[in-house]
Amino acid sequence: MTPFFQLLQSSPPFFTALCGIVGLMVGSFLNVVIHRLPKMLEREWHAQCAEFNDHAAEGSLPAPVKGMPPDAHPSGGLGAGSGDDNSAPASVGSGLRTFGEPASVPLAGAADAPTGIPMADEPGGTPRYNLVVPRSACPHCGHKISALENIPVISYLLLRGKCKGCGAHISARYPIVELVSGLLSGYVAWHFGFGLAALAALLFVWALLSLTFIDFDTQLLPDVITLPLLWMGLLFNLFGAFAGLHSAVIGAVVGYLVLWGVYWVFKLVTGKEGMGYGDFKLLAAIGAWLGWQMLPLVIMLSSLVGAVVGITLIVAARHGRNIPIPFGPYLAGGGLIALLWGQTLTQNYLHLLAAP
């Protein structure tokens, strides 16, 4: 073992600090993912729809369709826990509508080209748009973000939350995502200690973080994150990182089926869609990571937090009863709590039950 790994293993404070710093930098990248991934998917769907409609016009396909996203599913709805009127995006179409512009627009860390989404049908090929290109720029003036202006949290503070080019306000969400990522990463490192579990848990936490914010913004949980997350969970549990393989496989299946069942019961009873397929896949992924034994706790925690937040929003009248509340963030929160304290919580709970 090299001295560096020995140091990581022998000094928890060093490992914690290192992971905290890495977490800050990853947070900066997560900002890009959160902002760009939905736009990338939307571009893809537009391109596929255009292609499909071309085929349909040529008569090789039955009829033109509009906006059918093949690889993400609306999520959200049951968030309030009351389950009442929070219908999720009733159709794919409305899902796409909410999809257009994230709630917070101006940004530096992960800024977009000022013109918005370059469309896929531009002549002479599509301008590249992915997680790497184009470089981040201010959406107001197009000022390219230099490496020095992209230091997690610190740059935001030094710039006092304003674009260096035009002085436009930069959303505080960017340093917040970075900070949350840094703190959680440091905590995970301290909690698990140097080893496979810590590495796996970091990936799990980062994925949950990006899913949370993407779901907030767009009511979608992209398959490109939820599905690899599921497989990664099974893979890590091949080596017993968090649960036995048996438990992980059953967890994935049961996680999916539980919410799928709730969805159909809710739909048959009320005629509405309470949540989306993205939610099923996320809970399947969480089941694959933590094993089926953790699912009741995850569902309980996410419903509890969802109910509290949902009712608060409705009471505060800032949120109409018909506006869907994404459920993904609560599932992610429940998953995170179960990852870190699930064993303790379950043991204490069973202990309480066993007490006379």
Q: Which stretch, 15-23, 55-63, 143-151, 197-205, contacts Zn ion (CB under 5 A)? A: 143-151
DSSP string, 332-346: HHHHHHHHHHHHHHH
H or E stretch including 24? helix 12-58
DSSP string, 236-271: HHHTTSSS-HHHHHHHHHHHHHHHHHHHHHHHHHHS
- Nearest-approach distance from CB 25 to Zn ion, in angstroms: 23
Among 103, 105, 119, 141, binds Zn ion (CB under 5 A): 141
> In the window 174-193, what residues touch Zn ion (CB under 5 A)?
none
Among 36, 39, 143, 319, binds Zn ion (CB under 5 A): 143
Question: Is residue 140 part of the contact set for Zn ion (CB under 5 A)?
Answer: yes
The three-class DSSP label of residue 220 is strand
Question: Is residue 325 part of the contact set for Zn ion (CB under 5 A)?
Answer: no
**Contact residues for 337 (Cβ-Cβ < 8 A; gap 6+):** 297, 301, 345
Q: How does DSSP classify residue 321? A: T
Question: Is residue 163 part of the contact set for Zn ion (CB under 5 A)?
Answer: yes
Question: Is residue 111 part of the contact set for Zn ion (CB under 5 A)?
Answer: no
Question: Is residue 168 part of the contact set for Zn ion (CB under 5 A)?
Answer: yes
Q: Is the torsion defined by CA of 352, 295, 207, 241 positive or negative? A: positive
The three-class DSSP label of residue 74 is strand
- Nearest-approach distance from CB 32 to Zn ion, in angstroms: 17
Among 103, 158, 166, 238, binds Zn ion (CB under 5 A): 166
- Nearest-approach distance from CB 108 to Zn ion, in angstroms: 8
Q: Which stretch, 11-19, 142-150, 199-207, 248-256, contacts Zn ion (CB under 5 A)? A: 142-150
What is the Cα–Cα distance from 176 to 30, expressed in whole angstroms? 11
Compare residues 131 and 166 and give the one whose CB is closer to Zn ion. Answer: 166
Angle at 316 between CA 323 and CA 218, to 5 degrees: 30
The three-class DSSP label of residue 207 is helix
- Nearest-approach distance from CB 119 to Zn ion, in angstroms: 23
Among 107, 110, 138, 275, binds Zn ion (CB under 5 A): 138
Question: Is residue 106 part of the contact set for Zn ion (CB under 5 A)?
Answer: no
| Contact footprint for Zn ion (CB under 5 A) | 138, 140-141, 143, 163, 165-166, 168
